[in-house]
Amino acid sequence: MRQSLQRTGIWDAYYEETDPETRKKLLSDGCEMEPDDGLNLLRRDLWALRYTDPKDVGHRVDRLLWQCVNLLCIYRMAGPRFLRGNGGKEVRGAMRSMGFCQAEACGEAGRGELYREFRNAARRYFSVSSSGKSYRKKLFGIVSMNSGECRKKLAEDAFLLSAGIAERFGIQEELEPFSRAVKDEFFTFDPDAQALWDECASAHRKK
């Protein structure tokens, strides 16, 4: 029982941590110290896929964080309904760098790990955005949003990443682990998440 709790604890810590290098150390410790549950190779693959720059392996990046921004751009730049097939192709292209294929090879357990990785990425996105000065800029960067405006903007991002993109391009099932992870993390991140979410959903239905 103690061993089971210890193993759960180290992986919980791994998925709670958002700093890439600290996560790398936790990943290494977990793989070396705990019995292999059949998912260690996937965890290593997801870490490398997320944080390694394919053009410069020595340069640390966060490709899931980037894809949050990229997916929002794809959604907002999508044109009329008859042209949205191109947007769907772009989303599927983005998904190839997000770990879907790697996780699928491990079945349901792999999808569970991918969901946890996506929640970690969403947590970092919300944290970085809410504290970042550039995220709060409006009116061509002249004026900054107040706290309430920033929370509404984050809620809109969360809603679009979780529901808007999947619905617009008709890929709800394909994007499900990511969509669910973003929503679940947002509801943990903001104490008024339900009210903000309902407001975004209402505005989305009117478009």
185-193 contact pairs (CB < 8 A, 24+) = 185/119, 185/122, 185/123, 185/126, 185/158, 186/122, 186/126, 186/154, 186/155, 186/158, 186/162, 188/123, 189/123, 189/126, 189/127, 189/154, 190/151, 190/154, 190/155, 192/151, 193/155
- Alpha-carbon distance of 135 to 65, in angstroms, equals 14
Q: What percent of the chain has pLDDT over 70?
A: 90
* pTM, two decimal places: 0.90
Model confidence over 160-172: pLDDT tens digits?
999 999 999 999 9
What DSSP state is assigned to residue 160? I
- Whether pLDDT at 8 is above 50: yes
Average pLDDT, the chain: 89
- Sign of the dihedral defined by the CA atoms of residues 68, 72, 74, 75, in that order: positive
- Whether pLDDT at 3 is above 80: no
Q: What is the pLDDT of residue 54?
A: 86
Q: What is the pLDDT of residue 78?
A: 81
Q: What is the pLDDT of residue 29?
A: 95
How confident is residue 80, by pLDDT bands cut at 50, 70 and 90?
low
Q: What is the pLDDT of residue 178?
A: 98
- Whether pLDDT at 140 is above 60: no
Q: What is the mean pLDDT of residues 89-111?
A: 95
